[in-house]
Amino acid sequence: MRPARLVLFLILLCVCVPLQAKPKRLIVLGKLTQATASSGGGSGWCLQLNPVIIVDGRQLSFLEIQTDHPQKLESLQDAFVQAKGTLITGDTADADGAPILKLSSVHSVKYNNPYKDKPKTSLWSSVANFFWTSPI
């Protein structure tokens, strides 16, 4: 009887331990926007991610922001920012809605567009450059 109890205990332990999700610390980039609630319940903040991220097999393109000091975010409205915080999952976040990022810090960063400053080259200059640099 005791080995059966031990096996049952081990099975329950293996099933229950993974169910307790650890909070995920994230550092994300995106555009900070102010979102107004349609129910008239005030306004919140949203981060439109660039690039999008995948968390637990779910592609996220935006996160709701939870912070103790929302007035500090007003100066960063519509700016490209780097945000650090903890992703809230489980019972505290709505499964159908956007995930919530409990913000620990945020600051503005310069948007890095790799195609903006790239010099334009013609086809012939690319071909000439290929033969010039190849070890033939």
101 assigned to some structural domain: yes
The CATH number covering residue 97 comes to 2.40.50
Interval 64-121: pLDDT, tens = 999 888 888 899 998 999 999 998 865 544 556 678 899 999 999 886 655 555 556 6
Q: Which domain holds residue 91?
A: 27-110
Distance of alpha carbon 38 from alpha carbon 97, whole angstroms: 14
128 assigned to some structural domain: no
More confident residue, 56 or 126: 56
65 assigned to some structural domain: yes
pLDDT value at residue 83 = 92
134 assigned to some structural domain: no
pLDDT value at residue 59 = 87
77 assigned to some structural domain: yes
103 assigned to some structural domain: yes
72 assigned to some structural domain: yes
pTM: 0.60
Number of domains in the chain: 1
Please, which residues have CB within 8 angstroms of residue 109's CB and are 6 or more apart in sequence? Answer: 29, 80, 81, 82
Token match 């994230």: residue?
Answer: 26
